[in-house]
Each structure stands twice: as structure tokens, then as C-alpha cells.
Amino acid sequence: MCAIVKRPLSTAEIEVVRRLHQNVEDRYPAWEKRIECSYVPVEFMSEILPPKTPRPWWGFGIIYPDAPYGNEWIINQYFLFHFGIPIAGPEFKTLVDRVDINEVRKASARDLFVEWQPKITDSEWLANSHNQSYFILNLCRILHAVLGKTIGSKKAAAAWVKSAHPQWQNLIEEAEHWRYGMEIKRQEESQSFLEFAIEKVSERSL
């Protein structure tokens, strides 16, 4: 979720936000540590590169008052522009210019090399089943964005990669079917999938 605010939140307002999210997760345990929400000042909405000023972000059951923006910034802007559903306030697309899909492809490639490539040697992180599922599906989204003709959801991206590169079908389907409490033991294949993604994206000039 993205909450667009007129001005940066004060310390007192951030505490109100923290209590709001905590109350929601306490009331609905099925959503505990599964809700993410960014509180972005409207002045940053026209930025293409990630804004340098941090913002409050709720995720994994914690409020981060000064969370930095990452390479996912323009990717999220694209999806919100095309598919965002306003809960309150104006349509998202009235607050920003249309996002260039080529900028999304560039950001996806940056995300691969900055965020995900270092995971190739982090065996402890990859040993976690949740991390494996999250990691595999994000690689699908990156491959779909950079190599495909369109950009879509993780589900659409996974379907595209399975069709275009069927050698990864079983790995991707296990990641898609994963639920909390299930175990995935595909660490070596996950590392190989990352190497494959790095090779394919490196071949594409952006």
C-alpha cells in the first residue's frame, strides 16, 4: 500500500500510524507481518529515481520512521499508475505523470544487480523457505520486465518465465504454491536461477 501525504509525518503522527497498523494486525492475525505501507509526501511523486529523503514505512510488524527508497520506487509507481485502487482521495494517476516503461525496465535491472545478486553467496538467507519463494518470484518479475513486452503481476511474470524458459517451471511452481509452514529445499536451484537471470539481463542493453 502507498499512503500519499501532504507533508512529511511528524514524530507524533508516526506513532499514531504505528498504533494503527499494530491494532489492525492484532485484530486480524492472518495479516500479521504481511502488510506493507509507505507514507510518501506528495512532493516526491514526480521523481523517476528513488527520492533521497527517507519516509516512514510499515512492514514485517515494525514501523521504520526513516526507511530509504530502493530501486522498486519507479516499479511501484508504474503499477500504482496503471492498477492502483484508491481507498480514499484522488486517483493515483492524477498525482503523477505517466511512467515510462523503459524506466521500469532499467529499475528492474538495477534491482537485480543491487538487491538480488549479492544473495548468490548468502547461503543462510537462501536456506529460509519464505526467502526462497519471495526471491524466485521477484526474479520472475525482473525477467518479465526486462525481457518481455509487457509488465505485470508476479503471477503473470511467473507464467511468462515458465513459458519462455520451461527449464525453471518446477522451481517456479513450488515457489508459487509455498505457504507459511511449508518448506522449500531448492537452495542450489535458486542460486542457479539467479545466475541465469543475471546472464539474461546482462545480455539485454538498457
Residue range 162-179: mean pLDDT, rounded: 95
- Per-residue pLDDT of 89-108, as tens digits, reads 999 888 888 888 999 999 99
DSSP strand pairing (2-5 vs 37-41): parallel
Distance CA 76, CA 89 (A): 18
Give how far Cα 113 sits from Cα of 110, 119, 124, 178, 196, Å: 5, 10, 19, 25, 13
- Per-residue pLDDT of 16-59, as tens digits, reads 999 999 999 999 998 888 899 999 999 998 888 889 999 999 99
Confidence of residue 206 (pLDDT cuts 50, 70, 90): low
Residue range 117-132: mean pLDDT, rounded: 90
Distance CA 73, CA 57 (A): 13
Residue range 190-206: mean pLDDT, rounded: 90
Structure confidence at residue 118 (pLDDT): 93
Q: 3-state DSSP call for residue 39?
A: strand
Structure confidence at residue 205 (pLDDT): 64
Query: 103 phi and psi, to 5 degrees?
Result: -65, -35
pTM of the predicted protein model: 0.79
* Buried b / exposed e along 71-99 (16+ C-beta atoms within 10 A): bbbbbbbbbbbeebeeeeeeebeebbeeb
**Contacts of 83 by beta carbon, 8 Å cutoff, 6+ apart:** none
Beta bridge pairs of residue 61: none
Cα angle value 199/204/206 (rounded, 5°): 130
Q: Is residue 99 within 8 Å of residue 163, measured between CB atoms?
A: no
Q: Is residue 71 within 8 Å of residue 115, measured between CB atoms?
A: yes
Q: Compute the CA torsion angle 47, 53, 56, 59 (nearest 10 deg).
A: 70
Q: What percent of the chain has pLDDT over 90?
A: 65
Half-sphere exposure of 114 (CA within 13 A, CB side): 10
If phi > 0 it is left, if psi is from -120 to 50 it is alpha, else beta; for residue 59 that is beta
Place of cell 546472464: 199
